[in-house]
């Protein structure tokens, strides 16, 4: 279906050497996009690129720290000199679980820089070029924690609430320039970030009862939402957060 064909488009996915980021990169590649993988670790990034190229995908890599505004701008501007970025997926993120009364200040600052500042830094750097072309798709990765909270992750919840509202702000400022800015809010997915929870039988049992679908999500189940928001099929969708969570935010 041509509405969802990404052939000829280039997609930058931050934090894409593993987990959700790599799954989304693979999915966008299968929809026809050229992929730009990003991570801080060059060895891990090259391993991911090699795995993606083995599927027939066109792959470039950009090594930069998403929490370093200058490094972000330099990397994006340098890449844009040769090839424009049509799709940006702000996926880079981290988690830190500690009761709020004991949460270390440095961990709070690091979490906010990684989860919120990075989306602003990369979003702004890429959007400046998209605005000149009058088109572009930005997909931010939010979370069910954009709406819900659990014990021990209050700063993460705050960061993902910020991503949802930053997405609205991006749409409000940039839709007039031809950009579509939306977010995907995953529920509980089996990823390296959630490895400790997946390995906890008590938590998994709770999650299966709490989620109407009755199970953990698979990262591949986020791909359709990402392709949709990156495609012409979402040409009039702006400022929206699409929950992909097995129904957890729909039920008590």
Beta partners for residue 139, in sequence order = 89, 182
Rounded Cα–Cα distance for residues 217 and 233 (Å): 24
Question: What is the gyration radius of the CA atoms in the chain, in angstroms?
Answer: 17
Beta partners for residue 183, in sequence order = 140, 241
If 0-12 CB within 10 Å is exposed, 13-18 middle and 19+ buried, where does residue 205 land? exposed
Establish whether 121 is a catalytic residue: no
Within 13 Å and on the Cβ side, how many CA atoms surround 189? 25
179-186/136-141 β-pairing: parallel
Rounded Cα–Cα distance for residues 67 and 90 (Å): 12
Given the residues 79, 121, 156, 188, select the one marked as catalytic: 156
Rounded Cα–Cα distance for residues 156 and 107 (Å): 11
Rounded Cα–Cα distance for residues 200 and 196 (Å): 6
Query: What three-state secondary structure class fits 98?
Result: coil
Residue 48 phi/psi, 5-degree rounding, is -65, -40
Q: Tokens 């844009």 appear where?
A: 80
Contact 188, 148 (CB under 8 A): no
Give catalytic residues, as residue numbers.
Answer: 156
């Amino acid at each position: 279906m041509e509405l969802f064909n990404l052939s000829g488009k280039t997609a930058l996915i931050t934090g894409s050497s593993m987990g959700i980021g790599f799954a989304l990169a693979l999915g966008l590649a299968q929809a026809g996009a050229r992929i730009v993988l990003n991570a801080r670790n060059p060895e891990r990034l090259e391993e991911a690129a090699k795995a993606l190229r083995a599927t027939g995908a066109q792959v470039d890599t950009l090594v930069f720290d998403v929490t370093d505004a200058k490094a972000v701008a330099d990397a994006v501007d340098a890449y844009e000199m040769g090839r424009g970025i049509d799709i940006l997926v702000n996926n880079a993120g981290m988690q830190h679980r500690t009761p709020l009364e004991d949460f270390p200040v440095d961990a709070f600052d690091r979490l906010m820089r990684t989860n919120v500042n990075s989306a602003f830094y990369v979003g702004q750097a890429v959007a400046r070029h998209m605005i000149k072309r009058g088109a572009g798709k930005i997909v931010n990765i939010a979370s069910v924690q954009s709406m819900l909270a659990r014990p021990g992750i209050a700063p993460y919840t705050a960061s993902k609430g910020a991503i949802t509202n930053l997405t609205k702000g991006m749409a409000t400022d940039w839709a007039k320039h031809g950009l579509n800015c939306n977010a995907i809010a995953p529920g509980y997915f089996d990823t390296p970030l959630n490895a400790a929870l997946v390995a906890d039988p008590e938590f998994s049992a709770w999650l299966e009862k709490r989620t109407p679908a009755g199970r953990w999500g698979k990262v591949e189940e986020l791909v359709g939402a990402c392709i949709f928001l990156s495609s012409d099929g979402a040409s009039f969708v702006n400022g929206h957060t699409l929950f992909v969570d097995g129904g957890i935010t729909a039920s008590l």
